């Protein structure tokens, strides 16, 4: 999700990150870019306006201009406001009612309702340890009832059989009765969808709502429809007391307009997002994490904390200066880096916190994580000082000698040199903004 929005914003952010001072005029320019990025992501206009207004007020205030790290400060404001507009906190399901707690699922045809019923059933069963039953009140499409039955078997939850000759309310009453007798914790009710919200659909779902007295009424909506998702959910919520929204197909949605608009437009929280066709593709919606992801920030704040505690600041600072001046990253620098990674308990957990990591290919990440690090350090240690400073010296016979010295094969040395070259390239690229910004964050 959000790839295109992230891409659009990352240029703006990179420019700000490297900047020592911000002025009112470049804040204005940056907020204009943020505004365009949001509109292109199909975020609803009132949401864009509210966001930009709040970002501007905070940014032009003391918060940014007086900050030691104005670029970082502005990015933090954008992130805070994105988080706030999506509802700040993750919203949990309210299942604190006498069992069975009923969850009524509504949505347009094709939104992914039935799939989501199965995903939610699995989520409640596996993560919340609930005894779950599902039932379909879609009497117009016998195939939908069959689809739910198959899915229920797949995820291993109870299925209450219904058929097309019954009234939807009668089905739900019978299912509740059965669920109570079977000591079911949660009963999820799938309902009929329509191609658009019309009077007949609303009348039926209202009657169902009255019969089921649900603890949760969730509206399932396709995130690929962008801001329309928010408008549809709003129409629906005007007729029924909606308790939350589930956004589906976020795996196919590069823009993210729905995620950013739903809360503001409907006043209802997004509780889950669907991420694929399989039954494990459901995630609790965390506004703060999503906002960080949009900005491709990783978890910068906790990274900074971790780095502050464990990194040798002088070395880090020297490297940052060196890279920023465009001087060559050599094998001594690589060893320093590797040793610091070791100090931090391996890079695996750290990598994801680094900003811009989205752009580093997985195979590169894999090479610098885990057990490899001590081996890499050993290889560098068996080089001469001169070789470390000038990696170009490392011809075949030198590499063979180094391998012997480290007790490894020449192929290991070659591999390390490849990794060095990749890091060197990355460092050269980071010279402008990334590293410097990171260091500045550490001091601020």
Binding site, by residue number, is: 107-114, 190-194, 248-251
Regarding 399 and contact with ligand GDP (CB under 6 A), the answer is: no
Of 287, 300, 296, nearest to 444 by C-alpha is 300
Nearer to ligand GDP, 77 or 247 (CB): 247
- Whichever of 193 and 434 has its CB closer to ligand GDP, that residue is 193
Cα four-point dihedral sign 405, 410, 412, 413: positive
Q: What is the DSSP letter of 217?
A: E
From 70, 100, 107, 356, residue interacting with ligand GDP (rule: CB under 6 A): 107
Contact 427, 364 (CB under 8 A): no
- Residue 168 sits in the site that holds ligand GDP (CB under 6 A): no
Q: Any contact of residue 280 with ligand GDP (CB under 6 A)?
A: no
Find out whether the peptide bond into 33 is cis, omega within 30 degrees of 0.
no
DSSP 95-109: --SSSSEEEEEEE-T
Distance of CA 257 to the CA centre of its chain: 14
Instruction: Tell me if 136 contacts ligand GDP by CB under 6 A.
Output: no
3-state secondary structure of 203: helix
Question: Helix, strand, or coil here: 282?
Answer: strand
How many CB atoms are closer than 10 A to CB 4? 16
Residue ranges in 182-275 assigned as alpha helix (H) = 199-212, 227-239, 257-266
349 binds ligand GDP (CB under 6 A): no
How many CA atoms does the CB half-sphere of 396 hold within 13 Å? 0
Tell which residue, 57, 71, 86, has the closest CA to residue 23. 71
Cβ proximity of 142 and 131 under 8 Å:
no
CA distances from residue 431 to 95, 340, 437 in whole angstroms, order as listed: 51, 19, 10
Q: Which is nearer to ligand GDP, 194 or 327 (CB)?
A: 194
To ligand GDP, the closest distance from the beta carbon of 419 in angstroms equals 35
Rule CB under 6 A: choose which of 70, 71, 112, 168 binds ligand GDP: 112
Q: Minimum CB separation from ligand GDP for residue 280, in Å?
A: 11
Stretch that binds ligand GDP, among 40-48, 61-69, 276-284, 400-408 (CB under 6 A): 276-284
151 binds ligand GDP (CB under 6 A): no
- The total of other beta-carbon atoms located within 10 Å of residue 247's CB is 31
> Which of these segments, 106-114, 171-179, 309-317, 390-398, binds ligand GDP (CB under 6 A)?
106-114
For tokens 């081996």, name the residue: 375
Per CB under 6 A, 115 contacts ligand GDP:
yes
Contact 216, 243 (CB under 8 A): yes
Among 251, 283, 330, 424, binds ligand GDP (CB under 6 A): 251
Quick one: tokens of 15?
């420019």
Judged by CB under 6 A, the chain residues 190 through 209 that form the site for ligand GDP are 193
Q: Which stretch binds ligand GDP (CB under 6 A): 85-93, 209-217, 245-253, 382-390?
A: 245-253
For residues 387 and 378, what is the distance between their CA atoms, to the nearest angstrom?
14
DSSP-derived letter for residue 215 is: S
Measured from the CB atom, is 19 or 249 closer to ligand GDP? 249
By CB under 6 A, what part of segment 174-193 binds ligand GDP? Answer: 193
Shortest Å, Cβ 210 to ligand GDP = 22
The set of residues, in sequence order, having a beta carbon less than 8 Å from that of 156 and lying 6+ positions away, is: 125
Q: How far is the CB of 220 from ligand GDP (least distance, A)?
A: 6
Distance, in Å, from the CA atom of 100 to the CA atom of 177, rounded to the nearest integer, reads 9
Q: Name which of 115 and 337 has its Cβ closer to ligand GDP.
A: 115
Residue 281 within binding range of ligand GDP, rule CB under 6 A: yes
- Range in contact with ligand GDP (rule: CB under 6 A) among 41-49, 105-113, 233-241, 264-272: 105-113
| Of 275, 279, 292, 340, the one binding ligand GDP by CB under 6 A | 275
Task: Name which of 235 and 404 has its Cβ closer to ligand GDP.
Answer: 235
Applying CB under 6 A, among 12, 114, 136, 266 the residue interacting with ligand GDP is 114
Which member of 277, 308, 321, 352 binds ligand GDP (CB under 6 A)?
Answer: 277
User: For residues 59 and 230, which CB has a smaller minimum distance to ligand GDP in the complex?
Assistant: 230
Residues near ligand GDP, by CB under 6 A: 107, 109-115, 193, 248-249, 251-252, 274-277, 281
């Amino acid at each position: 999700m959000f790839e295109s929005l992230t891409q659009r914003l990352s240029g703006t952010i990179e420019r700000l990150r490297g900047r020592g001072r911000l002025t009112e005029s470049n804040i204005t320019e940056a907020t204009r870019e943020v505004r365009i990025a949001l509109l292109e992501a199909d975020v609803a206009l009132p949401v864009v306006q509210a966001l930009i207004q709040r970002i501007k007020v905070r940014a032009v205030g003391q918060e940014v201009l007086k900050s030691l790290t104005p670029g970082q400060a502005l990015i933090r404001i954008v992130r805070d406001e994105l988080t706030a507009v999506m509802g700040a906190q993750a919203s949990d399901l309210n299942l604190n009612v006498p069992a069975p707690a009923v969850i009524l699922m509504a949505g347009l045809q094709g939104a992914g309702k039935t799939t989501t019923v199965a995903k939610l059933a699995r989520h409640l069963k596996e993560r919340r340890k609930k005894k779950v039953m599902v039932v379909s009140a879609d009497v117009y499409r016998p195939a939908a009832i069959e689809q739910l039955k198959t899915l229920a078997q797949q995820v291993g939850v109870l299925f209450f059989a219904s058929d097309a000759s019954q009234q939807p309310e009668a089905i739900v009453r019978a299912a509740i009765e059965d669920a109570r007798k079977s000591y079911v914790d949660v009963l999820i009710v799938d309902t009929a969808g329509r191609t658009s919200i019309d009077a007949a659909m609303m009348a039926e779902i209202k009657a169902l709502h009255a019969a089921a007295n649900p603890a949760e009424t969730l509206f399932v909506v396709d995130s690929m429809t962008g801001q329309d998702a928010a408008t549809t959910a709003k129409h629906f919520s005007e007729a029924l007391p909606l308790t939350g929204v589930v956004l589906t197909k976020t795996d196919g949605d590069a823009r993210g307009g729905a995620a950013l608009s739903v809360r503001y437009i409907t006043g209802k929280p997004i509780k889950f997002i669907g991420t694929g066709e399989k039954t494990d593709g459901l995630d609790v919606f965390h506004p703060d994490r999503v906002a960080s992801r949009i900005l491709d920030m990783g978890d910068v704040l906790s990274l900074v904390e971790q780095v502050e505690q464990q990194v040798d600041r002088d070395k880090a600072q020297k490297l940052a200066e060196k890279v920023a001046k465009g001087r060559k990253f050599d094998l001594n620098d690589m060893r320093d880096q590797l040793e610091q990674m070791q100090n931090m308990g391996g890079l695996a957990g750290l990598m994801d916190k680094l900003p811009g990591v989205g752009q580093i290919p997985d195979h590169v990440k894999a090479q610098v994580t885990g057990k490899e690090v001590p081996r890499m350090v050993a290889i560098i240690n068996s080089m001469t000082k001169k070789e470390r400073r000038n990696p170009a010296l490392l011809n075949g016979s030198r590499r063979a000698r180094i391998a012997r010295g480290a007790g490894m094969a020449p192929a290991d040395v070659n591999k390390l040199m490849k990794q060095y070259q990749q890091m060197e390239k990355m460092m050269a690229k980071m010279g402008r903004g990334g590293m410097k910004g990171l260091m500045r964050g550490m001091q601020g």
